Structure 1
Amino acid sequence: MQFLVYRATRPPLPRGLSYPYVSLFQDNWDDFGWRCRFIATLHRSDDEDDDVDLGAIRIATDGDAFRVPQRDLPAVLEKLPARSASLGESIAYYRRIGDMPLRLRNAYLRAVADIVAKPKRRDRITSEKLWNDSFQREASSRHALKRGGIYIGAEVEEVEPPAFNFAMRLEGASGSHQFDIDFSTRDGLPNRTILLIGRNGTGKTRALSALAAAVMPPQVFTEASRKGMPSSVVSPPPEVSRVITISYNAFDEFPLPAEPSRAPRSTGIAYRSRASYKYCGLRTPDGTINVDEIEKMLAEALEPVVQSDRLDVLRRILATLLDPDRAVDLTSEDEEPRRLAVKGLSAGQRLVAAIFSNIVGFIEEGSLLLIDEPETNLHPGLLTSVVAALNQTLREFDSYAIVATHSPILLQQIPSPYVRVFTRDSTDQPKIKPLGFESFGEDLGELSRRVLGLADPERDFTHMLNDLYERHGSVEAVQELFPYPLGVPAMAHLFSLATDDEGEANG
């Protein structure tokens, strides 16, 4: 199989080049001085619709980085040099190869000397610095090395759920934010979501944005969005296939992805992606958002998924998020039913449908989702549906999520081992600790008081019930003061007061 290596716009088909062939766009990506990253496309015929955009690949030759001198570009190669070896940058690369006919797939994997297909080729990369600093620099590459074989019929390794320690230092804070993330299973409890919960100003949002910046190489992000990021450390580096950041806030702090290689800038679109990182949210260059933009975001998010093999998955998730009938209309292969279905949604429904459409279109096995305050601008009923749709998505794609929130509704649905509570003391010292009681299924009021401190015990309903009980003398007398039956927490408190009275009388 032949190769066309180029740097600028792909040239007309040179003489002597026959189909199928591989074009390699020679990227300027710099891995600590190593430059061996290419964007690979398989051309099966002169019809561009037959092209397979495979994505990023790193190539080494005889133990060194493979590179064609700029003066020789474009260059046609009958084959890669002897003792070459390559590795795809993400598991999506191998999924796309797996979709090829078997004969073409095997021919391509031999031509690029793929390491996942034949692990012995790893021995050709004799420089450990090249291997560690370039081929294994990105979390997605490390994940692809272990799991890419699923799609091409090669060996695979099991990947444990992500577990790592995180630390960052915010300007003005008297100490660092330090906490652990561990998605390991615990006796069958739901383990795919970890909740960072705390009041505003405790550092949850900054922690998520700093975590995104720490997991991915700096070239993934725009220079402007990298500025001001707090210094942070992740240890050990997690093995995840992709990182997806999600926010409903027009003023979120997630870093924005840089321009994809040889792809034009998207303007007016509230989501962007680069390599194995995707920002999915509301932020635009001018920082504004309106209903028309949300509608446009949803329409553009639906189109590629509807035309892909993930249509049924998206339909099931949208049915959980909205309802089955709307899900069918939104995922129709005809544009007009989709357009009418989008028009019939509220602004909040359009927003969450767009975000989940983007997630389904980009997520791969082993992805990490970072979600900032999903309760923003959503009523409780829709928020509950978002949680259900998120759980469904994570199970479907064997992925994980870290969610920053101050919502007791979300806290109520997460077992305590997967909760981290953010607070600050009087000296502005950050404190992050595990939850000391069971949150799963707990009363919302109890969660609000004990975790978020939203109701001062001296001013909440129990204080009023104490006064009423003291004045009226019995549970029944207090009940009669209210036009409707009291709720379970109020009645439990009244009965506890009555029990205390009986104990004192008998004592």
Structure 2
Amino acid sequence: MKIIYKARESRRTNPLPEGEDDVLELLSNDWNDYGYETTFMTTCRIAGERIQLGAIKILFEKSNSRRYLKELLQNGWDGSFPIPNESYISTPGEITFYEQLVGALSPKKAVKAAEALRDASYLIHVKDDASAQEMIQEGGFKDSLQRERGSIDAFNSGWKILDQKSLAARDVDFSFKDVFGQRSSLTFKFGVGETSLPRDINVLIGANGTGKSQLLHQMVKAWLADPRQVRSGDFAVPPDISRLIVVSYSPFEQFPVDMEDSKLNDKDAYKYFGLRGVSKSSSPKRKLITLSRDIPRQDTVASLVSCVMDDQRFRHIQGWGRKIATAERVLRAAIKFDAIALKLKSNINLKDLFEDLDELDKAVSVIKQGGKEASFITITASNIRHIDANMLERFVNAEQGVLFLADGVIQQLSSGQRLFTYLVINVLGAIKRNTLILIDEPELFLHPSLEIQLVDMLKQILQSFNSRAVLATHSVSTVREIPADCVHVLERTDDSLIIKQPPFQTFGGDFQRIASYVFGDRAVSKPFERWIEDQLEGMSAEELIQSLGDDVNEELIIQILAMGRDQW
């Protein structure tokens, strides 16, 4: 594959270079990059197909990159990489840059491309290149090539893609200020453990007021800060993640809704899903945040379209977790449907959505709503390759959210089913390789069986995307799905916060035992226990059991007998 630079300006839509050969072209732009001008968008053709690789950053020794490349062209350079007799290094904007090249070309050809571009990750971690070692000590590497989260992750882990090594997750150490204002620390166990039990999800659990949500807020704040700065109350070591997703449908949460106030360019390094969003009446000088039930519906439509785009864009990556197929499979655990659907705007040319008119007829249905006919497009794992995702994004009507059709009829969802849909589709739409997902109180509005389905869904997609999650919860059902060393119990004393892990295995463990350990269950008097105490004042335990007949179960018999002997 040829790699070229012709100083062609990057546009919203960039035509492919002339010819039919495999080619990767770097495009010029006016991004300042803090004076270094290292960022170049790309356009790529492999086997006649357009491959969307994203941006790459190139740093030259003590020089503005864009200006220097222009000088090289003026001095006779033909625009081909590698550039002879020049010292430079590069880092892609995302780790998927080389994953796509590996899948679309071959591992060997992807390595050749990385060598031509002098990929810093490969040169440092595999080749131990002396020139690259010197260049990563320069200010431009830290201030430009390693300013964005995606580029940091690409440098730390990209070499593993090229060297065909597994992307093993590491533990995450975090220092935070607890509810007493004291400094505490916590290690989220994501790395390989002593057993084969899955460690892709960690859980924060404890009574109200122990600071679970507060801890998540501090993690978000640390993530949104400039990654070049080291602060107290932060990650002890920069985590090997490229994106942070926050999900909270509590009306009381106060997570940041976006990264627009950040000076970082990579605004997608943080994604928030909840009931709040930026008001349409906001201005650049005054951001107004609004709370609305419409926001999750609209977010879910955008996320479903993102799933389509990602499945199309990353189709060459081996082991890519097919997002639409995953959504269909997981959502059928909660909803009976034939197809996921989106409402389309009126007065559009449906032919723009599909090149194949036969596929158009299969995917688009006309359904009556309120006496009026409206068009709906079904989104399935089998038809997304035929859809023009960019046109879908323009044509979709987000007001009704994501819909589910069964026998051509739109299905009505309960509040729990809707929330489950929001969680599943939004997480799938936003997740990329090496993502950390924070979910605050995922059990809100969910039936216990859906809580378990949510954990099952997370486990499926986390593995596919080498990602991990932290859940702040009160749900014992959730804890039963998590190994004990990944369960962090927050307990508040009179003057301090204690963080401990259960001394027994919670994975598949006893529900009552977990509840008693986490919440001090036996110390809390329950209504049914008070009723038993009242009955025992007038009869013996044996008489009470006999009077209950078939209405008493084995556990209750044991408890009544123990309470009758004052042993409970």
TM-score (normalised: structure 1) = 0.75
CA distance in 2, matches of 1:107, 1:442: 50
Matched, 1:315 2:325: yes
Q: Which SS does the other structure have where 2:240 is aligned? A: coil
CA contact (8 A) 1:196 1:204 kept: yes
Residue number among 103, 113, 121 corresponding to 2:118 in the alignment: 113
Partner of 1:234: 235
CA contact (8 A) 1:305 1:361 kept: yes
1:478 maps to a residue whose letter is: L
Residue number among 475, 492, 497 corresponding to 2:558 in the alignment: 492
Partner of 2:200: 192
Residue number among 270, 284, 289 corresponding to 2:277 in the alignment: 284
Q: Which SS does the other structure have where 1:211 is aligned? A: helix
Partner of 1:243: 244
Partner of 1:337: 378
CA distance in 2, matches of 1:205, 1:237: 21
CA distance in 1, matches of 2:256, 2:507: 32
Matched, 1:432 2:499: yes
Gaps of 5+ in 2: 279-288, 343-358, 365-376, 380-401
Alpha-carbon offset, residue 91 of structure 1: 1.5
Change (3 A) 1:394 1:44: closer
CA distance in 2, matches of 1:392, 1:348: 21
Matched, 1:474 2:541: yes
CA contact (8 A) 2:248 2:274 kept: yes
Q: Which SS does the other structure have where 1:392 is aligned? A: helix
CA distance in 2, matches of 1:238, 1:410: 25
CA distance in 1, matches of 2:564, 2:40: 74
Q: Which shifted more, 201-210 or 275-284?
A: 275-284
Change (3 A) 1:237 1:489: farther
Q: Any idea what the Cα deviations from partners look like across 1:445-467, whole Å, max 9, x if unmatched?
A: 55444323467444564454355
Partner of 1:296: 298
Alpha-carbon offset, residue 324 of structure 1: 9.2
Change (3 A) 1:369 1:362: same
Change (3 A) 1:414 1:389: same
Partner of 1:269: none
Task: Indicate the RMSD between aligned Cα atoms, in angstroms.
Answer: 4.3
Change (3 A) 1:352 1:236: same
Q: Any idea what the Cα deviations from partners look like across 1:368-410, whole Å, max 9, x if unmatched?
A: 2211111123233322221221122223333211111122222
CA contact (8 A) 1:316 1:327 kept: no
Residue number among 167, 173, 177 corresponding to 1:169 in the alignment: 177
Matched, 1:23 2:31: no
Partner of 2:59: 60
Partner of 1:376: 444
CA distance in 1, matches of 2:92, 2:490: 38
- Number of residues of Structure 1 aligned to a counterpart in Structure 2: 466
* Equivalences for residues 9-158 of structure 1 within 5 A: 20=23, 21-30=25-34, 35=36, 37-44=38-45, 52-62=51-61, 64=62, 66-69=64-67, 78-79=79-80, 82-101=86-105, 109=114, 112-116=117-121, 119-120=126-127, 122-125=129-132, 126-127=134-135, 128-130=137-139, 131=141, 134-136=144-146, 140-145=150-155, 147-149=157-159, 154-158=162-166
Percent identity between matched residues is 23
Q: Any idea what the Cα deviations from partners look like across 1:187-239, whole Å, max 9, x if unmatched?
A: 2223211110122222211211221332455389xxxxxxxxx9622112222
CA contact (8 A) 2:321 2:465 kept: no
Change (3 A) 1:352 1:500: closer
Change (3 A) 1:325 1:478: closer
Q: Which SS does the other structure have where 1:341 is aligned? A: strand
Q: Which SS does the other structure have where 2:488 is aligned? A: strand
Alpha-carbon offset, residue 44 of structure 1: 4.3
CA contact (8 A) 2:339 2:404 kept: yes
CA distance in 2, matches of 1:457, 1:214: 37
Alpha-carbon offset, residue 302 of structure 1: 1.8
Partner of 1:274: 267
Change (3 A) 1:279 1:3: farther
Change (3 A) 1:344 1:450: same
Q: Which shifted more, 378-387 or 131-140?
A: 131-140
Change (3 A) 1:217 1:201: same
CA distance in 2, matches of 1:41, 1:296: 31
Change (3 A) 1:485 1:133: farther
CA distance in 2, matches of 1:138, 1:12: 24
Partner of 2:215: 207
CA distance in 1, matches of 2:203, 2:430: 23
CA distance in 1, matches of 2:450, 2:13: 50
1:68 maps to a residue whose letter is: R
1:22 maps to a residue whose letter is: L
Partner of 2:189: 182
1:179 maps to a residue whose letter is: L
CA distance in 1, matches of 2:52, 2:63: 23
CA distance in 2, matches of 1:241, 1:451: 33
Gaps of 5+ in 1: 221-229, 265-272, 502-507
Change (3 A) 1:325 1:246: closer
CA contact (8 A) 2:276 2:295 kept: no
CA distance in 1, matches of 2:190, 2:277: 33
Q: Which SS does the other structure have where 1:364 is aligned? A: coil
CA contact (8 A) 2:248 2:440 kept: yes
1:188 maps to a residue whose letter is: S
CA distance in 1, matches of 2:142, 2:520: 46
1:148 maps to a residue whose letter is: G
Change (3 A) 1:7 1:158: same
CA contact (8 A) 2:337 2:411 kept: no
